Structure 1
């Protein structure tokens, strides 16, 4: 009986170590995606909206909500991109960006170019993984804000 207990304890310890190692690998992979997408959001998406790049202005004219919406979208993208780079904020930023990507996908499908809806859908999938991985930190952030 003692031998079985020892074997089970060692097996459980090995399984826990393996799970921990997998979690570290997942977190590193997610960080790579977070950094790449954050860079995209800040440099290639928000910045053109702020400087009034012709494509951005034209796109928001097509959407029909006015240029104020271009600035608002740029602010949300910039804040989300920065949030993805801050470990304590990454989960909350990813959660908020899922909503932005849902709106972007719907806008692509209904107003602009339906094929381009795949990009925000892909980003939203990565954000969902980040939000899930960072859920404990997000809960801690919410608790600290509620106090």
Structure 2
């Protein structure tokens, strides 16, 4: 049995395939299809999600490739997906920046870029262009939309 938070909802799973990835769990069992499978080998970042865990009494966040992460590793953590960012009709500031700067072309890679930047924002009060580029180092855009991103 494992327990974790899917955004702010407690999930208890009693019987799972030990080889089930977070990506396949989200898309298949939770019907959350915003997280995309691009390469299935952790190279493109389309499947990026955010994991939160308590370290020394404080929440720390990490962007991870859901295609490589097993659901069993979620025990005691918080899983945040791109579907969790929008609050009502308001886009998250990272999502709004992607819209405002025309940072999406076909949109396939966009959720991964958004989640990488969201994670950076969760971990940092202020950040600069260099830190943003570092946070996005694992994300690829096949449409070559890097300039607006």
Task: Name the TM-score, length of structure 1 as normaliser.
Answer: 0.25
Greater share of strand residues, 1 or 2? 2
Q: Which has the higher contact order (CA 8 A, sep 6+)?
A: 2
Task: Name the TM-score, length of structure 2 as normaliser.
Answer: 0.25
Return the index of the structure with the highest Cα Rg. 1
